[in-house]
C-alpha cells in the first residue's frame, strides 16, 4: 500500500455538491483547487466544502496560461482569488488551514506552458522566480511529500511552492474534440490506471512498471467538471480498488 492525495481542479462546478457527497461516501479527503470566477458563481458549494473539512486551494481567477500573462496580470490572478478564499473561509467560520496554489495547465508562467520536461530558458526562469516569490509572500506553501519518490518531483517541482501532480487521471480528455493519448471514454481512463507508464509525464519511472504500483506516493489530479461528473463514481471506485490509502492534508 502507498499513500495517495486527491486534488480536484477547476472547482466549483454546478456539480460540486454531488462530488462532495461522493467523497464523503467514499471517505476520501481532498483539496479543491478553485477558480475565482467559479467561486463567485457557486459560493455555497465552497462554503459547504470548507465546513465539512475539505481544503480549498487557489487555481487563479480566470484559468489562464500564466506564460501568456504579464507579471502584473499574474499577480492579480493570484491575489484576487486569494482574497475571495479568505472571505469564504471567514463566512464559513473556519480558519484557513493552509494556502495552496496550482497553476492552470501546470503552466508556471516560465514560457514552457506546462511542458515541465522542456528546457527552461533564463527569461522564463526569472519570471517563474518572480511568481514563486509572490506566492511565498502571500503565505503559499507545498508539503514536502516525503513519500513521493519521483526524481522529477523531488528535485524539480517540489522546490517550488505551487502544487503539481504525479498522476493525471485524464478524465478531462473524454470531453475534448481531439482526445489526448487515446483517452476517449471511461474504459481508457480505467485501463490507464493498470497500464505501464503512460507516455506523458514520467521521466524517471522505469517503463516496465505499472504506474499506480510504483514505490512512490501519488498526488492524483481529477477535475470538478459538469461534463465528466457522471464518471467520478467509477473513477473513485477504481482508485479505491488499487493499493492506495487516501490521506488528509492537515
Ligand atoms: Zn485547471
Q: How far is the CA of 102 from the centre of ligand 1 (A)?
A: 8
Q: Could you tell me the residue ranges of all domains in the chain?
A: 2-246
56 and 26 Cβ atoms separated by less than 8 Å: no
Q: What is the pTM of this model?
A: 0.95
57 and 31 Cβ atoms separated by less than 8 Å: yes
CATH class, range 2-246: alpha beta
109 and 127 Cβ atoms separated by less than 8 Å: yes
Show the DSSP H helices in 110-169 as ranges: 122-137, 151-155
Q: How far is the CA of 99 from the centre of ligand 1 (A)?
A: 17
Q: How far is the CA of 2 from the centre of ligand 1 (A)?
A: 26
- CA gap 37, 87 in Å, rounded: 14
Residue 209 C-alpha cell reads as: 512498471
Q: How far is the CA of 227 from the centre of ligand 1 (A)?
A: 14
Q: How far is the CA of 225 from the centre of ligand 1 (A)?
A: 10
Q: How far is the CA of 124 from the centre of ligand 1 (A)?
A: 21
Q: How far is the CA of 9 from the centre of ligand 1 (A)?
A: 5
Residue 178 C-alpha cell reads as: 481531439
Each residue's pLDDT tens digit in the chain (250 positions)? 999 999 999 999 999 999 999 999 999 999 999 999 999 999 999 999 999 999 999 999 999 999 999 999 999 999 999 999 999 999 999 999 999 999 999 999 999 998 888 889 999 999 999 999 999 999 999 999 999 988 888 888 999 999 999 999 999 999 999 998 889 999 999 998 988 766 555 455 555 577 788 888 999 999 999 999 999 999 999 999 999 999 998 6
209 — phi, psi (to 5°)?
-80, 150
Q: How far is the CA of 126 from the centre of ligand 1 (A)?
A: 23
Amino acid at each position: 500500500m502507498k499513500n495517495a492525495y486527491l486534488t480536484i481542479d477547476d472547482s466549483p462546478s454546478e456539480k460540486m455538491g454531488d462530488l462532495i457527497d461522493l467523497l464523503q461516501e467514499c471517505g476520501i479527503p481532498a483539496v479543491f483547487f478553485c477558480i475565482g470566477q467559479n467561486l463567485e458563481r457557486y459560493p455555497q458549494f465552497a462554503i459547504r466544502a470548507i465546513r465539512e473539512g475539505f481544503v480549498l486551494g487557489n487555481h487563479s481567477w480566470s484559468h489562464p496560461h500564466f506564460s501568456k500573462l504579464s507579471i502584473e496580470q499574474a499577480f492579480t490572478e493570484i491575489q484576487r482569488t486569494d482574497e475571495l478564499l479568505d472571505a469564504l473561509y471567514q463566512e464559513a467560520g473556519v480558519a484557513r488551514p493552509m494556502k495552496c496554489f496550482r497553476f492552470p495547465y501546470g503552466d508556471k508562467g516560465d514560457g514552457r506552458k506546462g511542458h515541465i520536461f522542456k528546457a527552461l530558458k533564463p527569461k522564463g526562469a526569472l519570471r517563474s522566480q518572480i511568481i514563486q516569490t509572490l506566492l511565498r509572500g502571500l503565505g503559499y506553501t507545498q508539503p514536502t511529500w516525503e513519500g513521493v519518490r519521483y526524481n522529477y518531483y523531488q528535485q524539480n517541482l517540489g522546490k517550488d511552492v505551487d502544487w503539481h501532480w504525479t498522476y493525471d487521471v485524464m478524465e478531462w480528455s473524454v470531453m475534448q474534440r481531439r482526445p489526448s493519448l487515446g483517452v476517449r471514454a471511461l474504459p481508457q481512463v480505467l485501463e490507464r490506471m493498470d497500464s505501464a507508464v503512460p507516455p506523458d509525464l514520467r521521466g524517471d519511472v522505469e517503463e516496465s512498471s505499472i504506474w499506480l504500483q510504483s514505490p512512490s506516493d501519488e498526488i492524483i489530479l481529477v477535475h470538478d467538471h459538469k461534463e465528466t461528473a457522471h464518471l467520478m463514481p467509477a473513477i473513485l471506485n477504481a482508485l479505491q480498488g488499487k493499493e492506495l490509502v487516501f490521506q488528509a492534508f492537515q
